[in-house]
Each structure stands twice: as C-alpha cells, then as structure tokens.
Chain A
Amino acid sequence: MTYFVIIITAVFVNNIVLMQFLGICPFLGVSKKISTAAGMTGAVAFVMVIATIVTYLIQKSVLDVFEIGFLQTITFILIIASLVQLVEIILKKVSPALFQALGVFLPLITTNCAILGVAIMTIQKDYNLLEGVVFAIASAVGFGLALILFAGLREHLDLMNVPKGMKGVPIAFVVAGILAMAFLGFSGLV
C-alpha cells in the first residue's frame, strides 16, 4: 500500500516536472519530437535509479556515521557527475545499441536537477532503500509522462497557426501551463 501511494504521488499528484518544477531544462530542450523525448526519459530513468541507490548508501554509511551531513550537496553532485561518466563508459562497452539510443543525452544529465532533487528528497522523506528505489522509478515515469505528453503537444503545435511573437518558446510555456493545469486535477487524490 505504501508503495502504491508513493507511485501514484510521484507520477501524478506531485509530478516532478509539472508540479515540482524539476528537470525543466530537458523538458523544454528535448521535447520537440516524441522519439527524442522517449530517449531522454530512458537515460534519466537509468541514471536516476542508480544515483538514488548510490547516494542513499553513501548518506547512510558515510555522511550519517561521521555526522558530516553538511557535505551532502557536494557529495551527491560529485557522485552523480562521476556516475554519469561511468554509465557512459560501461554502456559503450557492454551495449553499443543502448549507447546509441541514450548516448547523446547522458552528458546533459549531470545538470538535470531532477536527479539531484530525487536523491535529496529520498533522504529528506526518510524513505528506506526499497521505497527510495520505487520513488526514483515512479519519478522517472512521471518525468517521462510529462515529457512525452508535452512533446506530442508540441509536434501538433508546429502545424498550428501561432501568432508570430508567440512562436517557439512563449507558446511552449503557455501550453506547459495548460498541461500543468490538467495535472492539478490529480491534487488531493492521495
């Protein structure tokens, strides 16, 4: 039941992009086509889950033990940065096909605040490791849902007759606002 609540909350009610405003840069940057949006989602999901596990273990076994919680920010960002590099190298060796699909998105992920945000939130919400993993997966699904929905809308937007000044980014934001309004309907569900 707890897991069910965590999943519904992270995917719909507190959707990481539309409700918590994390990961806005890729949300705008790679949402012009559904296929790139899906690729980005895969890469984010991959790194998000691994990063949450590793940061959780470091927090519990190093930062908490030595009472140096104030180094959390610096430790987590370093872990994520090196993890992204590591995933890139391993993926290149082990699965060139997957690397082809996700490779271009990986370098962008270090500065994706959704990853660091989820890692910190897992600690703040006092989840255990399994709950943290479920939370990370659900957040990634929420990220993907928002990204792919938005990409679909933007593909249609290209065919529309948008006023000249609104073309591009401004109309994208207004559409994102309307999408966020739709997600507001999930509030209070859990």
Chain B
Amino acid sequence: MANKKESTFINMVVALLIVTLVAATTLGFVYEFTKAPIALAKLNKKLNAIKLVVPEFTNNPDSIKYEIPVEGGLPVMAYPAYNNEELVGTAIETYTMKGFSGLIKLMVGLAPDGTIHSVSVLEHKETPGLGTHMSDEWYINQYKGKNPGTDNLKVKKDMGEIDAITAATISSRAFSDAVQKAYDAYVNYNIEPESAVVDSTLNTQKEGGENESAN
C-alpha cells in the first residue's frame, strides 16, 4: 500500500472525470452495438405472441398497429393481421391491474366478429406454481371460441363459465378481466370505424377531457 496516491483537489477531479468519461464512452459503444438486437428481440417476442393468437397472416401487424382508448385507464394496442388483404383477426395487447401481484399483460386474438381465437400471456408477476398456470393449455383453451359478447367469461365462483385455476381465483379473475377489456375496446372501436380512424387523436383527447371533468 505504498503507492497510495495523495489526494489533491485537481487530481481528484481529473481522475473522476477520466473514469466517468471512459465509462460513458464504452457504454455508448455497447449501447449502439446492442440496440438492434434488443429491438429485434422485443419485436420478435411481440410477433411470436401475435402468431400464437390469430390465424396465419402475411402482413406485419406491428407496422399498422393502432391504439384504442380505454375508459379510466391506459389505452390498449391493436395489431390487425391480414392474410392477403383479408382481415383474419386482430391481436389486442391488453392488461389488467387486478392480478394477485398487480399487472398482467395478455395478447388476445379476436376474429373480426369478436370471437376469441386464442390468448397468450405476455407478462405477469403471479405466484410460481399457482397463478403461473394461467399459461397452461387447458386454462387458455377455455377461452378459445368464446365470444365475450354472448358468453359469460367470469369464473364459476362469479356465476361465469370459466374454471378458475385451483388456489388462484384472483389470477383467474384478473385474466378474464383483461380478456373482457380487450373485447370491449375492440367492439367499441369498431362500432364507428370511420370517425374513430380519422379522429383517433381527437377522440382520445376529448375522452380524456370528459373524464377529467367527470372526476
């Protein structure tokens, strides 16, 4: 420890400056280098989730996505899937805050008439071994082919048609809530497609304003 350097104000400032500069530059390079793979990984994850929930498509749904405002919450994102100019389904990236540990994000695939094609789980923090079973096939299969407009998607405890996951009723309820939210958003949006498409930004603002005055 003979080589302990004396601390003067100038050499302290210089040393720290050099260390931070080198660190920041190196990180800048690493960031540039990993930027493309990170974006690709995120896009792939999204496209894979979309592929799981809608019939085969030929376009890139990510390039024509649109936002649907949700009353009293964040908007949901919709990814229309076309197979040679024909709309085969729309994947809705939906969410709920009612999970056992809060946020659950799902990708719900709806046929043009609103029937559920399939659902996949994007993100959740539910209890391993309990709520995590929401990704299981038997559970998701219950939702397939149902139309939230005519079928009751609530769990059986709440007089609905869905068998809840054992010991994870809250997660199951939240799952249904998110699916219902996707359907409601999709149907509301498609009732007045013209005005909604043209004035989607205007609409959002107007609704936001109303909400505020209502509160």
**For residue A71, which residues in chain B have a CB less than 8 angstroms away from its CB?**
24, 27
- Kindly identify which residue among A9, A70, A74, A187 contacts B100, using a CB–CB cutoff of 8 Å: A187
Tell whether A188 is near chain B: CB-to-CB under 8 Å: yes
Find out whether the CB atom of B101 lies under 8 angstroms from the CB atom of A70: no
Tell whether A14 is near chain B: CB-to-CB under 8 Å: yes
Find out whether the CB atom of B170 lies under 8 angstroms from the CB atom of A188: yes
- CA gap between A14 and B27 in the complex, in Å: 33
The number of chain B residues with a CB under 8 A from chain A is 8
- CA gap between A14 and B103 in the complex, in Å: 13
- CA gap between A9 and B31 in the complex, in Å: 35
Find out whether the CB atom of A74 lies under 8 angstroms from the CB atom of B31: no
Find out whether the CB atom of A70 lies under 8 angstroms from the CB atom of B31: yes
Find out whether the CB atom of B100 lies under 8 angstroms from the CB atom of A188: yes
Tell whether B191 is near chain A: CB-to-CB under 8 Å: no
Shortest C-beta distance, A44 to chain B (Å), equals: 23
Tell whether B23 is near chain A: CB-to-CB under 8 Å: yes
Q: Mark B84-103, 1 if CB is under 8 A from A, else 0.
A: 00000000000000001110
Shortest C-beta distance, A81 to chain B (Å), equals: 12
Q: With A74-B24, A188-B170 given, can you name 7 additional A-B contacts, CB distance below 8 Å?
A: A14-B102, A70-B27, A70-B31, A71-B24, A71-B27, A74-B27, A188-B100
- 13 CB contacts below 8 A, A to B, read A14-B101, A14-B102, A70-B27, A70-B31, A71-B24, A71-B27, A74-B23, A74-B24, A74-B27, A187-B100, A187-B101, A188-B100, A188-B170
